[in-house]
Chains A and B, each alone.
Chain A
Amino acid sequence: MHSIDFIVLFGTLLAIALYGTWKTRKSHDLKGYLLGDNSMKWGTIGLSVMATQASAITFLSTPGQAYQDGMGFVQFYFGMPIAMIILSAVVVPLYFKLKVYTAYEFLEQRFDLKSRALAAFLFLVSRGLAAGITIYAPAIILTAILNWDINITILIIGVLVIIYTVSGGTKAVAETQKQQMVVIMAGMFVAFVVLLVKLPDHIGFKESLVVAGKMGKMNVIDWKFDPTNRYNIWSGLTAALFLFLAYFGTDQSQVQRYLSGKSIKEIRLGLLFNGVFKIPMQFSILLIGVLVFIFYQFTMPPIFFNKTETDKLATSKYEQQYNELSKQHQQVFDQKRVLLGELVAADKAGDEESTTQLTERVNKLQEQQESIKAEAVGLMQDINPDLDSKDSDYVFITFVMKYLPHGIIGLLMAVIFSAAMSSTSSELNALGSTTVIDFYKRMVNDSATDAHYLFMSRLFTVFWGILALLFAVFATQLDNLIQAVNILGSVFYGPILGIFIVAFGVKYVKANAVFVATVISEGIIVWLYFLSRAGKLGITYLWFNPIGALLVVAIAVVLQAVWPKKTT
């Protein structure tokens, strides 16, 4: 990176952090700190909700995913507009009128303390550990590309976030997220324009779509129902709908964003804004990935995008094999580039026969290129058995570092760091709130002053921030823990959503029935998860959300019917 990139990167990050701290320096009471004085308007809520969901991995992985598998990932977000309407209509007026600080507070009002404590505990465990991964996951990729010490990357993200989140609370999170979203949008727009400029003269935007389509990257919608395929329209409209209902309706890191709204109207508009614009945003990020794919059809790509690993291979005992593979890779690339030129010309001339033939030949060469890469990965795994054979997370950042002009590289790095900071700040803010409201104030000390709870909120935010940093720093030595966090994320949401569905809609079910139903359902989901991992169950994790939620509802209803008097 050039010094101008560092100025843009650190200038942007520091300016946003300082602005957030300065703008919210008057947060002096608990309501102001945790609910932003209920002063947020719909634009701020909408951007804040979007920024919370968009982590650094969104901007590192999503273009890479499109590069690898095409546009189909956008279908994952199809449940979002429907989820936003359901939450706006049913959940928002309830939370707002009950004046709750956390989503879990509501569960005690509907059921009892143990239901509230269970949901809050599951949130703290899963989100507390996930906060560490939110910092760690981009840090490991940036370290491989930038050759920075991983701890420096972790500290840059973590320390700034802790400072402004602790200082200004919810309001600081929302204010900084507005600026961060502006940086993110601007950066991605610039990347899109630069990509178009960098394509060869005879390849415009339309030709790019033609080539992408012929090479199987424009599969935006898949109408075939297949529970083993994560991304088709049916899983997006059903399974992902449940995931979004759980995430936006019961996860405090999101609920806290809109609880800070000025009125029900502002909150609803903010959520609907998210529902309308999230799909185009993800579509645009994926389209950037497809354009990067097209770019690398005309500019020689590396065999494997994780440079640290290819460098190791190039200086290993396999040097000769690597050089041979590189030569083959270059030859296949050259042939494919020529054919692609002919393919574009044939398509323009409307020559269908030639187009079909050329498409077949191009795709065959693409397969050859993939098998050369697989051979190289095999050699790399011989040197490093722990190697992740997937390099798609490195595709976009490699393109940025190698082909974008100085200054713009700094801006794109600011996009990635801003995204990491925006989601981390929401997580820490929500973890601090839940610890104070659902545990400390409810179970430890319920008669202290407002100033005391404000102090404790700040203290717990610092505590979670430091825990996230430590987790990120030591994550490289905690492989099993990272796997455990991923498991928690996949298996908790469904049953938690089930508790809330019963709370909202099934009056007949009381506290004990729902509690036992949740514990049983959670056990079943964990069992299904391990069956799925062992390859004995042909469904993807996304389906655990509806299954978990519906299991809780069904079991709770049955339990309540069997023991109507005992389960009160």
Chain B
Amino acid sequence: MLKNDSFMDFLKTPEYTEAPVLGNWKAFYLTSIIFFVVELLLFSYLTIAY
């Protein structure tokens, strides 16, 4: 367990930074965004068409 200031130092350690924030996950995040954009387009179409 980490306390106070040492917590912020923890954010710089490999134990934290090596957990891929983007890296391999870019594709998954991008897929979510693409799904969302498709949903937005579909909803816009429904709003305009009906």
Pair from one complex: yes
B31 to chain A, nearest CB (A): 8
* Cα of A412 to Cα of B7 in the assembled complex, Å: 49
Task: Tell me whether A110 and B35 are in contact (CB under 8 A).
Answer: no
Task: Tell me whether B4 and A110 are in contact (CB under 8 A).
Answer: yes
Task: Tell me whether A220 and B47 are in contact (CB under 8 A).
Answer: yes
Q: Assuming the A-B contacts A268-B25, A279-B39, A280-B39, are A109 and B4 also in contact, with contact meaning beta carbons closer than 8 angstroms in the complex?
A: yes
Q: Chain A binding site: helix, strand, loop or mixed by DSSP?
A: helix
The interface on chain B, measured as residues whose beta carbon lies within 8 A of the other chain's beta carbons, has a size of 29
Give chain A residues whose Cβ lies under 8 Å from the Cβ of B22. Answer: 89
A347 to chain B, nearest CB (A): 10
A69 to chain B, nearest CB (A): 14
Is A84 at the interface (CB under 8 A from chain B)? yes
Give chain A residues whose Cβ lies under 8 Å from the Cβ of B49. Answer: 213
Task: Tell me whether A97 and B16 are in contact (CB under 8 A).
Answer: yes
Q: B4-17: contact bitstring with A at CB < 8 Å (1 yes, 0 no)?
A: 10011011000110
Give chain B residues whose Cβ lies under 8 Å from the Cβ of A110. Answer: 4, 7-8
Task: Tell me whether B29 and A88 are in contact (CB under 8 A).
Answer: yes
The interface on chain A, measured as residues whose beta carbon lies within 8 A of the other chain's beta carbons, has a size of 40
Task: Tell me whether B50 and A209 are in contact (CB under 8 A).
Answer: yes
* Cα of A97 to Cα of B18 in the assembled complex, Å: 11
Interface residue from A74, A85, A94 paired with B32 (Cβ < 8 Å): A85
Give chain B residues whose Cβ lies under 8 Å from the Cβ of A82. Answer: 36
Task: Tell me whether A93 and B7 are in contact (CB under 8 A).
Answer: no
Q: Interface stretch among A45-53, A136-144, A269-277, A322-330?
A: A269-277
Give chain B residues whose Cβ lies under 8 Å from the Cβ of A88. Answer: 25, 29
Is A408 at the interface (CB under 8 A from chain B)? no
A73 to chain B, nearest CB (A): 12
B14 to chain A, nearest CB (A): 11
Task: Tell me whether A97 and B19 are in contact (CB under 8 A).
Answer: yes
Is A264 at the interface (CB under 8 A from chain B)? yes
Task: Tell me whether A220 and B25 are in contact (CB under 8 A).
Answer: no
A442 to chain B, nearest CB (A): 12
Give chain B residues whose Cβ lies under 8 Å from the Cβ of A85. Answer: 29, 32-33
Is A482 at the interface (CB under 8 A from chain B)? no
Question: Would you list which residues of chain A between 47 and 102 have a CB under 8 Å from chain B?
Answer: 71, 74, 78, 81-82, 84-85, 88-90, 93-94, 96-98
* Cα of A494 to Cα of B36 in the assembled complex, Å: 25
Known: A88-B25, A283-B39; 20 extra A-B contacts, CB below 8 A, are A71-B43, A71-B46, A74-B43, A78-B36, A81-B36, A85-B32, A89-B25, A98-B2, A109-B2, A109-B7, A209-B46, A209-B50, A214-B50, A221-B44, A221-B47, A272-B31, A272-B32, A275-B36, A276-B31, A276-B36
Could you show 19 A-B contacts with beta carbons less than 8 Å apart? A74-B43, A81-B35, A81-B36, A84-B32, A85-B29, A90-B21, A94-B11, A94-B16, A96-B19, A97-B19, A109-B2, A110-B8, A221-B40, A221-B44, A272-B29, A272-B32, A275-B32, A276-B36, A283-B43
